[in-house]
Amino acid sequence: MAGKQYRKATLLLDPFFDQVEVEFRKAMDGAKQAFDNRDHLNAVKLYDLAAAITPGDAAAAAGLARAKNLKKVLDLTGQAARFEVDLELDAARVAFQQALDLDPVWEPALEGLKRVLAEIRQHAFEQRMTEGFDALAGGDLATARVAFKAAKALHPESQQPADGLLQVDQATRLLNIGRLQRQVTRLEQNEEWEAAISAYQQILAIDADLAFAQEGLARAKQRAKLHHTLNGFINDPDSLSAPATMQRATRVLLDLTRVSPRGPRLEDQKNALSRLLKRAAKALDVMLVSDNQTNVAILRIARLGEFESRQLSLRPGIYVAVGSRPGYRDVRIEFRVAPEIEMKPIVVQCEEQI
């Protein structure tokens, strides 16, 4: 009996349920149309009706929530658009964002915020580029580099920041070359040739094709080698007594007469070598004393045999006298001959028996 009554009630209610669905769809369609027409009052009314017809419907609840915020969203979007026209971009960004906080899917606000953010980024890009070129023109290369890098970060696809950075790099190279060129000029004037070589090498590391640096490096190396050679003779004046060494030094001295210009350092070295060559060419008297039983020789000079005293003329330098005698230990005596020292007799005799 109960089953029959349930089926009878169902048959009676089915038309009602069908009418509810029709009314719900009618309210939802009307609400959407009102919302699209930005008629917030009717949108709220119809979404509210739809929610009452079908409680718990998610679409109706979401529509009602958006409809309730529509007027404020419209006001904020309109305000943002006016700010944008007046180029008050930060204020426009804030207003568009506030509209989206109320309705995250409101398309005009989404498009407006995207547009304003692009305009802000473009404005910042142009400002960084202007700062970069102004700094470049003023010679502030560090600031220019920072500005162009900031512009590149804003628009990585743009070639303009890369061109700016290229100009900064070129200006930096020219600045460094100019600084090193002034430095190397002072070094050459002071005849600091080793330091000049380093400076020229630094210039060529920046630009290997600079003719003045190529020529300067060759000149500095030649002068450094010449100074090194002269110092070798001057620091070891006794070596000039050797014929081969004297010949080399004399040839260097002759070559120096053709070197121009000669700075004070090179002129001093030239004069010093000239004096030392004269010194080396003048033989000095040396007295050797023995016991007339020791066989005496001066290595690479002469065998003198046995004597009590013997005077020799020797040019300045280091010499070695050796003495030998049967049954006695050989003796070896090194002595120096120089005009600036007092020459005492050189005693060469074997006294230690074996």
Which DSSP helix (H) or strand (E) runs through 337? strand 331-337
- Mean pLDDT within 128-143: 94
235-246 pLDDT per residue, tens: 999 889 888 999
Pick 17 or 13 by higher pLDDT.
17
Which DSSP helix (H) or strand (E) runs through 41? helix 40-53
Q: What CA–CA distance (Å, rounded) separates 45 from 67?
A: 9
Q: Say yes or no to pLDDT of 79 above 80.
A: yes
Q: What CA–CA distance (Å, rounded) separates 223 from 197?
A: 10
256-274 pLDDT per residue, tens: 888 888 889 999 999 999 9
pLDDT computed for residue 15 by the predictor: 52
Question: Using 50, 70 and 90 to split pLDDT, how confident is the model at 99?
Answer: very high
Q: Say yes or no to pLDDT of 345 above 50.
A: yes
Q: Say yes or no to pLDDT of 6 above 60.
A: no
Q: Using alpha carbons, list the distances in angstroms from residue 347 to 283, 320, 338.
A: 20, 12, 18
Q: What CA–CA distance (Å, rounded) separates 179 from 158?
A: 33
Question: Using 50, 70 and 90 to split pLDDT, how confident is the model at 303?
Answer: very high
CB atoms within 10 A of CB 250: 16
189-216 pLDDT per residue, tens: 999 999 999 999 999 999 999 999 999 9
Question: Using 50, 70 and 90 to split pLDDT, how confident is the model at 354?
Answer: confident
- Verdict on whether the full-model pTM lies above 0.85: no
Cβ-contact 343, 337 below 8 angstroms:
yes
- Mean pLDDT within 2-26: 60
Question: Using 50, 70 and 90 to split pLDDT, how confident is the model at 275?
Answer: very high
Q: Percent of the chain having pLDDT more than 70? A: 95
Exposure of 252 in the CB half-sphere (CA atoms within 13 A):
27
Mean pLDDT of the chain: 91
pLDDT computed for residue 8 by the predictor: 45
Where exactly are the structural domains of the chain?
A: 14-129, 229-281, 284-347
145-181 pLDDT per residue, tens: 999 999 999 999 999 999 999 999 999 999 999 999 9
pLDDT computed for residue 141 by the predictor: 94
Pick 9 or 36 by higher pLDDT.
36
CA end-to-end span of the chain, whole Å?
155
pLDDT computed for residue 155 by the predictor: 92
- Mean pLDDT within 333-350: 94
Q: Say yes or no to pLDDT of 37 above 90.
A: no
The helix, strand and coil proportions of the chain, stated in percent and rounded to the nearest 5, come to 70, 10, 20
Residue given tokens 């002034």 in the structure block: 182
Q: Using alpha carbons, list the distances in angstroms from residue 296 to 72, 306, 310.
A: 124, 6, 10
Q: What CA–CA distance (Å, rounded) separates 354 from 352?
A: 7
What CATH number should be reported for the domain whose range is 14-129?
A: 1.25.40
β-sheet with 331-337: strand ranges across: 302-305, 295-298, 317-324, 331-337
Residue given tokens 């080698």 in the structure block: 225
pLDDT computed for residue 2 by the predictor: 45
pLDDT computed for residue 260 by the predictor: 81
Question: Using 50, 70 and 90 to split pLDDT, how confident is the model at 232?
Answer: very high
The three-state DSSP-derived secondary structure of 285-328 is EEEEECCCCCEEEECCCEEEECCCEEEEEECCEEEEEEEECCCE
